[in-house]
């Protein structure tokens, strides 16, 4: 789980992250009521630590 403070919308973050080769899932669709923006699930259970670090670096380029 990650929470980003950014002016980008969830859809923009998903799109820009995908362009960098990183998949993120917003948690908003899982809420029945008012959903928070800028909160994501990051799936990394099947990745090595070097791949995770690279993914985080790429994601940082998107949200900065």
The pLDDT value given to residue 43: 83
The tokens of 25 are what? 């899932």
pLDDT for 7 equals 93
Q: Torsion over CA of 28, 2, 37 and 41, rounded to 10 degrees? A: -20
The token duo for 19 is 């362009």
Give the pLDDT score at 25. Answer: 95
pTM: 0.87
Nearest residue to 6 via CA among 40, 29, 30? 40
Q: How many CB atoms lie within 10 A of CB 30?
A: 10
pLDDT (tens digit per residue) in 24-58: 999 999 999 999 999 999 888 888 999 999 999 99
Q: Which residues pair with 2 in a beta bridge?
A: 40
């Amino acid at each position: 789980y990650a929470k980003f403070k950014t002016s980008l919308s969830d859809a923009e973050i998903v799109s820009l992250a995908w362009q960098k080769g990183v998949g993120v899932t917003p948690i908003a669709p899982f809420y029945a009521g008012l959903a928070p923006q800028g909160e994501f699930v990051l799936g990394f259970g099947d990745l090595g630590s070097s791949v995770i670090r690279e993914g985080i670096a790429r994601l940082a380029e998107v949200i900065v």
